[in-house]
Amino acid sequence: MNHKAKSFIFKSLDILPNSLGYGIYHQLQKFLNRNSVNFKIKTNNRSFKEALEILEKENISLKDKTVLELGSGWAPIIPYFFTNFAEVERVVTYDINEHYDAKTIAKLNSYYKENYQIDIAAEKGKYPLPSNVTYYPKTNLAAENTQLNEQIDLVFSRFVLEHISPEDLLQIHQSFANILPKSAYILHMISPSDHRAYDDKSLSYYDFLKYSKAEWKKQHTKFDYHNRLRLPDYLTIFKEAGYEVVSLDYDTCDKDSEKYKKFKELTLHEDYKNYTEEELLAGSINVLLKLKV
């Protein structure tokens, strides 16, 4: 489905009452993703292995630790990786929405038994999750009264931050600074490209940088929000919240590539004229944070 068709659907849903709009949105997503468990496992597995490499380089062990996943998505793919393959004792996963589906989790549990010979001891309840994975949907970690029931050793997010407003990003990290132990780390994997280009190859991965704030607001909805923050913007937010960067890596754009050619064809909005090319083009950002002592 190209971005114009998606945009039309999301804008149509956006004018409906929240309960109805989200209800239809969930049904559409369930239909479109009904056979995607295997695909999600493969794509998340690459990120998981990359995360372990980053932590290993910094001599950070996850054995018997508690991980907080920021942004649960549609299934507990990452929590299962951490608890089954990284000796993590417990994962708590938080999301502003409630996207989990009992049938999808049951498929995931069956996949583990068939492919890894791991029996997921699912507990009875709304979702068939094991006791060491706890799901907190409809929870806003940017709220001033944020509290956690567990002591967290690592906060992890995968392709989530680009879908959170700059204001909420700052508040979330300020909350973490207040409620996490000083020894805790935060590892974010960020995809700052224009996600519409994933489905529509005619678009540049940086197409959204040509719009003003007002123009871009008209291009998306709460169902497909993207903040357009560039690398230095994220680093400024982390610094303001009281964190230091332990490690940082990101992709650069090959100047002989079609990706770079499309970028050069864009007329950037004035808001982005003071960034360097490297700052604008930085992609697949992996940043490991720790509170300043």
Question: In this predicted model, what pLDDT tens digit does every residue of 83-107 receive, in sequence order?
Answer: 999 999 999 999 999 999 899 999 9
Q: Is the overall model pTM greater than 0.85, yes or no?
A: yes
Coil vs helix vs strand at 115: helix
Q: What are phi and psi of 274, to 5 degrees?
A: -95, 5
Q: Within 13 A of 60's CA, how many CA atoms are on the CB side? A: 24
Quote the CA–CA distance of 201 and 210 in Å, as a whole number: 17
Domain ranges for the chain, please list them. Answer: 33-192+229-291
Q: What is the pLDDT of residue 25?
A: 73
Quote the CA–CA distance of 97 and 139 in Å, as a whole number: 7
Q: What is the pLDDT of residue 106?
A: 94
For residue 38, the one-letter residue type is N
User: DSSP letter string over 138-168?
Assistant: S--TTSTT---SS--SEEEEES-GGGS-HHH
Q: What is the pLDDT of residue 32?
A: 65
Q: What is the pLDDT of residue 6?
A: 74
Residue ranges of the chain whose pLDDT lies below 70? 1-3, 26, 30-35
Q: How many CB atoms lie within 10 A of CB 135?
A: 22
Q: What is the pLDDT of residue 31?
A: 65
* For helices 231-240 and 166-179, angle between their N-to-C axes, nearest 10 degrees: 40
Question: What CATH number should be reported for the domain whose range is 33-192+229-291?
Answer: 3.40.50.150
Alpha-helical runs (H) found in the chain:
3-14, 18-32, 37-57, 77-85, 102-116, 166-179, 196-199, 213-219, 231-240, 258-265, 277-281
Coil vs helix vs strand at 242: coil
- Structural Rg of the chain based on CA atoms: 19
Quote the CA–CA distance of 22 and 176 in Å, as a whole number: 28
Please provide the size of the chain in residues.
Answer: 293
Nearest Cα neighbor of 206 from 264, 157, 248 is: 264
